[in-house]
Structures are given as C-alpha cells and as structure tokens.
Amino acid sequence: MMMKLLLCVWIIFSSQLSTSQAQECEVVNSALQQMMKTLSAHEISLRSLQKTLKQMQNTRTHSTACPPPPPLMNGRVLGRIFRMGHEIHYLCDAGFQRMGPESRVCLQSLSWSDTQPSCQRRISPVLSDADTEGSAMNDDDEPTALPTSSTFSSSSSSSLLSSSSSTVLSSVYLRASRCVEFLDSIHCSCDAGFSISSSNTSFCMDIDECELFRHTPPGRVCAHTCVNTAGSFYCRCPDGYKLSRDSRSCHDVDECVQAAHNCSSEQVCVNTYGGHRCEHIHCPEFHNATYIRTSALRCERSPCVEEDSACLQAPLSVSFHFMSVVSNMRVPVVLFRVSAERLLGDSLRFSLQGNSSVQRVSIQRSGPGTARLVLLRSIQGPDQLTVDIQIDQTEKRRLIGRYLTRVTLFISPYDF
C-alpha cells in the first residue's frame, strides 16, 4: 500500500500523469488517512484499558492483605508483607521466652492464624508432687516435666496458651503446634526437633535423638555420651578428652604437652588416651651385669670382666618406648618398628622375650636390618601390655652384640 502511495505521488508531479491515475491516487490517500484515524482511536482505548486494569490490580492487592499485626512486647515481629499466604515470625528478646506460636499466616479470611504470642521472662518452673510423677531426671538431676495422659485436653491450643496455670507449657519439652487453615482443612507443623503429638495435634513433642539413634553404630550421633535437650541434643566427652569441632567426636588432651601433669623431674610423662602416666625408668638387672642410665629412655651396660660369659650375654643397651592405643583395635595392625643401630657380623636376629605376649603380638622382618611389631589380637581396655624385643648380632655363630627394646602399651578404655 505504501509503495502504491509513493507511486501515486510520483505520478502526480510527473508531466505524463493521466486523469484516471490521479483519481485513483486520491482514493488511496483518503483510505490511508481514515485507517490512521482508526488506529489512533484504538491506541487511546488500549491505554485507557491498561490504566483501568492497573487500578483494579491495586484495588485487589489492597483487599487481600491482613491488617498489620500488633507489636510484640519484649520482642520483635519479623516480616513486612501482610498479603494472603504470607507468614510473619515472632522473636523474643534475651531473657524472655515466647509463649505461643512462632509464626502466623495470613488466611483467606484476611485474618491471622493462631493467637498473638507473648514474651514472658524466663522463670524456672516449680512442680508439685503430682507434676513430678510425670517427670524424668535429666543429666543435671533436674526434674523435667513429661506429658502424661492427663496433660492433653480437648480444648484448643489458644485456650491452653492463655492458661497461666498450665504446667504443661512450662516444660520446654512440650510446645504448641503451628496450625494453618487452608482449603477447609487444618495443617499443623512443629519446630525442628519436635513432632506432632499422637494424642493431640495441638501439641508438639520433643524428639529424643539420643534414644532414636541409640542402637545405631557408635559415633553416628555422639562418640561418647548423648544428652537430649528440647528440640536438639549435645554430646559429652569423658575426662581427658575435648569435644571436636564437629560437636560429636572426642579428641584426647595431651597433658604432657600442655604441662597439665604432676610428674616429677625424675619421672617421664607419658600421654595416654584420656589421661597420662608418670613413669619411672629403672635399668634392668642381669646376672653379673650392671647398667647406668645414659638418657631419659636408655640404659647402657657397664664394661664386663674378661671371660665373664654371663655379663657378655647381657644386652649392651636397653631402650624404653611407651605407646597409647585405643581399645578393640582392628587387627592385624603394625604397632612399632625397630631397627639395629649398626649392622655387624654375618647374621641378625629379632625375637620376642617372655611368653605372656606371644599370643597377642608377633615380630616380623621388614628389611635387612629392620623388623616390625604386629598386634594379632585386639585388646579390650583398660589394659597394659609390655613387650621385650631382643636383637642378636652374631659372627660365625658367636654373639658379638645384643640389644633390648622394651615397648609398653597403654590400652584406653575407649575405642576413640
């Protein structure tokens, strides 16, 4: 159409323009002007319709909002959108405890669900003899009210919340549920760590995580002791341990490194799992041989008299080593590695002395001049095991050197 219009304009100003062509161009031009007027009228109508829709939307938004909630004394109201389906949350100041729902929802009736909560100063509940019958003792030997059959009633949660004489709500192990009315049905929920009571959906019962996971493998919840709290739990470690960063595992406290021991200068501090030992180093006694202590963990034999075979058969040196291991270790496991100070002669032999530890450990060669002590049977702690490893060096079957390594194991009562 536009191309035809331009053609007409060109024809009008052309000297060769005919009368019939000029009339046809005038008709086309008139039709185009009428179409532009019609489009302009439609544009004005569309703008008016958009304005009307925006006004209707603003009116609808204003009409689907609940009234602003009243302020919370000694607390705060969290949330600024009050439209239908939105939630507001309540938070009490430090030293105050919330009585009532934690959050409320704007319902289709443009009213808030539940009742307005309140913040009351924390006061330790005083239980009567009748209340104590339905209570349990926690780890701090303080009575904690537990729900009994007389606790529940057919009244609504709002009436229970308004009852100041109710000892049920004074217990942190029982809370009111959050219920929302939606599409002619009521849906109730609880805070984390709580579950809906099977007797009354208006209440939330604390979940005892310690009892729930009591039969799971050790360490899944707590490495040592699990203590249940309202809505959660925490872990405890035995004496001599500290709680790890994961708040579940326990790691040993090294009293020797931290100088938290009472060992004298003549004693050696040996850290163990969950404690420490103050050990005296006594040089051994062999027939016709005497020893002197040359360091904190080593004794050496004094020179022997010529042709004193008993003295020459005694070890040239005795070294002491202390180890701390956990209870019920998985076996077999390498406990200790030993090596000869220097290779002399044509033969080197490692052996275990005594019969008390033969069934539990073994000595195995690992190299030309090295061996390793291997635990064969797990040991239930607390226990203590001493192993003597003897190293013999011979030249043409003649003993030219003997050394003794004494390893003492302290087995912890715990498996961590």
| Residue-by-residue pLDDT tens, the chain, 416 positions | 555 545 555 555 554 445 566 677 777 778 788 888 887 777 887 888 888 777 666 555 456 789 999 998 888 888 778 888 888 888 787 778 888 888 888 888 888 998 899 988 875 443 333 333 333 333 333 333 333 322 333 333 333 333 333 333 335 678 888 888 777 778 888 988 888 887 778 788 888 888 888 776 665 788 899 999 988 899 999 999 999 999 999 999 999 999 899 999 889 999 999 999 999 999 988 888 999 999 999 999 999 988 888 898 999 999 999 999 999 999 999 999 999 888 888 889 999 987 666 688 999 999 888 999 999 999 999 999 999 999 999 998 888 899 999 999 999 999 88
CA quadruple 90, 94, 96, 97: dihedral sign = positive
Residue 289 and residue 318: Cα distance in Å, rounded? 13
Identify the DSSP state of 74.
T
**Alpha-helix runs per DSSP H in 127-235:** 129-133, 157-161, 209-212
Residue 362 and residue 333: Cα distance in Å, rounded? 11
Which amino acid, residue 196?
I
Global pTM value: 0.56
Q: What is the DSSP string of 255-314?
A: TTTTT-----TTSEEEEETTEEEEE------BTTB-EEEEETTEEEEPPPPTT-HHHHTS
User: What are the tokens at 414?
Assistant: 């715990």
- Which residues are CB-contacts of 62 (< 8 A; sequence separation ≥ 6)? none
Identify the DSSP state of 141.
S
What is the predicted pLDDT for the residue at 77? 86
What is the predicted pLDDT for the residue at 390? 94
Measured N-to-C along each axis, helices 2-12 and 19-63 cross at an angle, to the nearest 10 degrees, of 140
User: What are the tokens at 228?
Assistant: 């249940």
CA quadruple 195, 199, 200, 203: dihedral sign = negative
User: What are the tokens at 220?
Assistant: 């899944």
Q: What is the DSSP string of 369-387?
A: TEEEEEE-S--PSSEEEEE
The helix/strand/coil state of 4 is: helix
Are residues 176 and 118 in contact, defined by beta-carbon separation less than 8 angstroms?
A: no
User: What does CATH list as the number for 268-411?
Assistant: 2.60.40.60
What is the predicted pLDDT for the residue at 407? 95
Number of C-beta neighbours around residue 45 at 10 A:
10
Residue 391 and residue 402: Cα distance in Å, rounded? 6
The torsion of the CA quartet 385, 388, 389, 391, rounded to 10 degrees, works out to: 170
Question: What are the beta bridge partners of residue 144?
Answer: 136
User: What does CATH list as the number for 211-252?
Assistant: 2.10.25.10
Residue 121 and residue 92: Cα distance in Å, rounded? 10
Displacement of CA 23 from its chain's centroid (Å): 91
**Which of 342, 336, 337 has the alpha carbon at shortest distance from 317?**
342
Domain borders along the chain are: 211-252, 268-411
Angle at CA 355, nearest 5°, toward 350 and 361?
60
